[in-house]
Amino acid sequence: QVHLVESGGGLVQAGGSLKLSCAASGINFRLHTMNWYRQGPGNQRELVASITGSGVTNYVDSLKGRFTISRDNVWNSVYLQMNNLIPEDTAVYYCKANYKGLDYWGRGTQVTVSP
């Protein structure tokens, strides 16, 4: 059974940082592209960043320079380092694993950025 469990969310002031983690089990982790999505209040879920099994990264242009995605294929985990947070980053952040058209989602972790 596949499990993706996000952690690291919380309340932070604008300008602060958070590092999200997503621990995966039940999949051949290194084969999967790992993704971070977010869904803010009243918004659709949107892709934040992705990283392939070999470490190739992709970011939403608007977040380049503030957010960094990384992964550890030994610990089956993916991370999202978020710096210089702004209130507009407030959202539930989700981890998704993808391989050959199959998607697995975590339940999300709440990030709230206060002004």
Cα–Cα distance measured from residue 5 to residue 14, given in angstroms and rounded to the nearest whole number: 25
pLDDT score recorded for residue 18: 98
Query: Is 13's pLDDT higher than 90?
Result: yes
Model confidence pLDDT, tens digit, residues 34-66: 999 999 999 999 999 999 999 999 999 989 899
CA atoms within 13 A on the CB side of 45: 11
Average pLDDT over residues 14-21: 98
Cβ(33)–Cβ(77) below 8 Å: no
pLDDT band (50, 70, 90) for residue 17:
very high
